[in-house]
Chains A and B, each alone.
Chain A
Amino acid sequence: MFRLLRVELFKIFSKPRSYIGFLAIAAIVMLLEIALYIDGKSYISFILQSLEQSFAVQGNLLNGYLVCFIILQTLIVQMPLLVALVTGDLISGEAASGTLRLMLSRPFSRTQILTAKFAAGSAYTFVLLLCLGVLALGGGVLLFGEGDLIVLKSDSLVILRSNDVLWRYMAALSLAFVSLLTVASFALMLSCFTDNSIGPIVSSMAVIILFTIIGTLDVPLFDKIKPFLFTTHMIIWRNLFDNPIDKLQVYTSVAVLIFHIVLFYTIALIHFNRKDIYT
Chain B
Amino acid sequence: MNLEVKQGEIFGFLGPNGAGKSTTLRMLLSLIKPSSGNIQVFGKSLLQNREAALSNIGCIIEKPDFYLYMTAAQNLKMLAQLNDVKNSEQRIKEVIDLVGLQGRQNDKVQTYSHGMKQRLGLAQALLHNPQLVILDEPTTGLDPQGIIELRYLLLRLKNEFGKTVVLSSHILSEVELIADSMVIMNKGKAVAQGSVKQLLSTENLIVKIETEEAQQVRSILNQTPFANVIEKTEPQSISLKLSRSQIPELNALLVEQNIQVFGISYQRPLEEYFLKITQAGNVHV
Contact status A277-B69, CB under 8 Å: no
Q: Contact check: which of B59, B61, B65, B69 meets A14 at CB < 8 Å?
A: B69
Contact status A105-B59, CB under 8 Å: yes
Q: Contact check: which of A15, A98, A107, A274 meets B65 at CB < 8 Å?
A: A98
Interface status of A7 (Cβ within 8 A of chain B) = yes
Interface status of A266 (Cβ within 8 A of chain B) = no
Contact status A105-B81, CB under 8 Å: no
| B71 to chain A: closest residue by CB | A14
Interface status of A224 (Cβ within 8 A of chain B) = no
B45-59: CB near A (< 8 Å → 1, else 0) gives 000001111110101
Contact status B67-A104, CB under 8 Å: no
Bound-state CA distance A101–B62 (Å) is 10
Contact status B52-A7, CB under 8 Å: no
For residue B266, give the distance in angstroms from its CB to the closest CB of chain A. 40
Contact status A105-B78, CB under 8 Å: no
Contact status B62-A98, CB under 8 Å: yes
For residue B83, give the distance in angstroms from its CB to the closest CB of chain A. 7
Instruction: Tell me whether A101 and B31 are in contact in the complex, defined as CB-CB below 8 angstroms, given that A4-B82, A10-B78 are known contacts.
Output: yes
Interface status of A247 (Cβ within 8 A of chain B) = no
| A99 to chain B: closest residue by CB | B65
Interface status of B124 (Cβ within 8 A of chain A) = yes
A-B contacts at CB below 8 angstroms, number? 70
Instruction: Tell me whether A11 and B51 are in contact in the complex, defined as CB-CB below 8 angstroms, given that A105-B29, A105-B61 are known contacts.
Output: no
Contact status B54-A99, CB under 8 Å: no
Interface status of B230 (Cβ within 8 A of chain A) = no
- Chain B interface size, as a band, is 20 to 34
Q: Which residues of B contact A4 (CB under 8 A)?
A: 82
Interface-centre pick from A7, A97, A107, A277 (highest chain B CB count, 10 A): A107
Q: Which residues of B contact A99 (CB under 8 A)?
A: 65-67
Q: Which residues of A contact B54 (CB under 8 A)?
A: 105-107
For residue A5, give the distance in angstroms from its CB to the closest CB of chain B. 10
Bound-state CA distance A94–B78 (Å) is 15
Interface status of B32 (Cβ within 8 A of chain A) = yes
Bound-state CA distance A105–B55 (Å) is 9
Contact status A11-B33, CB under 8 Å: no
For residue B163, give the distance in angstroms from its CB to the closest CB of chain A. 17
Q: Which residues of B contact A109 (CB under 8 A)?
A: 50-51
Instruction: Tell me whether A14 and B74 are in contact in the complex, defined as CB-CB below 8 angstroms, given that A101-B31, A107-B50 are known contacts.
Output: yes
Contact status B65-A3, CB under 8 Å: no
Contact status B74-A6, CB under 8 Å: no
Interface status of A16 (Cβ within 8 A of chain B) = yes
Interface status of A222 (Cβ within 8 A of chain B) = no
- Majority secondary structure, B binding face: loop
Q: Which residues of A contact B30 (CB under 8 A)?
A: 104-105
Contact status B82-A14, CB under 8 Å: no
Contact status B33-A276, CB under 8 Å: yes
Bound-state CA distance A276–B34 (Å) is 10
Instruction: Tell me whether A97 and B70 are in contact in the complex, defined as CB-CB below 8 angstroms, given that A10-B78, A102-B124 are known contacts.
Output: no
Interface status of B84 (Cβ within 8 A of chain A) = yes
Bound-state CA distance A107–B30 (Å) is 10
Number of chain A residues close to chain B: CB under 8 A: 25
Q: Which residues of B contact A105 (CB under 8 A)?
A: 29-31, 54, 57, 59, 61
Q: Which residues of B contact A108 (CB under 8 A)?
A: 51, 82
Contact status A107-B52, CB under 8 Å: yes
Q: Which residues of A contact B79 (CB under 8 A)?
A: 102
Bound-state CA distance A9–B69 (Å) is 15
Interface status of A278 (Cβ within 8 A of chain B) = yes
Contact status A97-B29, CB under 8 Å: no
For residue B147, give the distance in angstroms from its CB to the closest CB of chain A. 22
- CB within 8 Å of A: which of B76-118? 78-79, 81-84
Bound-state CA distance A3–B51 (Å) is 15
Instruction: Tell me whether A15 and B61 are in contact in the complex, defined as CB-CB below 8 angstroms, given that A4-B82, A107-B52 are known contacts.
Output: no
Bound-state CA distance A4–B81 (Å) is 8
Q: Which residues of A contact B32 (CB under 8 A)?
A: 276-278
- CB within 8 Å of A: which of B235-285? none
Q: Which residues of B contact A98 (CB under 8 A)?
A: 62-63, 65
Bound-state CA distance A106–B50 (Å) is 9
Q: Which residues of A contact B59 (CB under 8 A)?
A: 105
Contact status B65-A101, CB under 8 Å: yes
B18-43: CB near A (< 8 Å → 1, else 0) gives 00000000100111110000000000
Interface status of B191 (Cβ within 8 A of chain A) = no
For residue A135, give the distance in angstroms from its CB to the closest CB of chain B. 26
For residue B121, give the distance in angstroms from its CB to the closest CB of chain A. 9
Known: A97-B65, A101-B65, A105-B31. 19 other contacts (CB 8 A): A4-B82, A7-B81, A7-B82, A14-B69, A98-B63, A98-B65, A99-B66, A101-B61, A103-B82, A105-B59, A105-B61, A106-B54, A107-B52, A107-B55, A107-B83, A109-B50, A274-B33, A276-B33, A278-B26
A contact residues vs B (CB 8 Å cutoff): 3-4, 6-7, 10-11, 14-16, 97-99, 101-109, 274, 276-278
What would be 14 A-B contacts, judged by CB atoms less than 8 Å apart? A3-B82, A97-B65, A99-B66, A101-B65, A104-B29, A104-B31, A105-B54, A105-B57, A105-B59, A274-B33, A276-B26, A277-B26, A277-B31, A277-B32
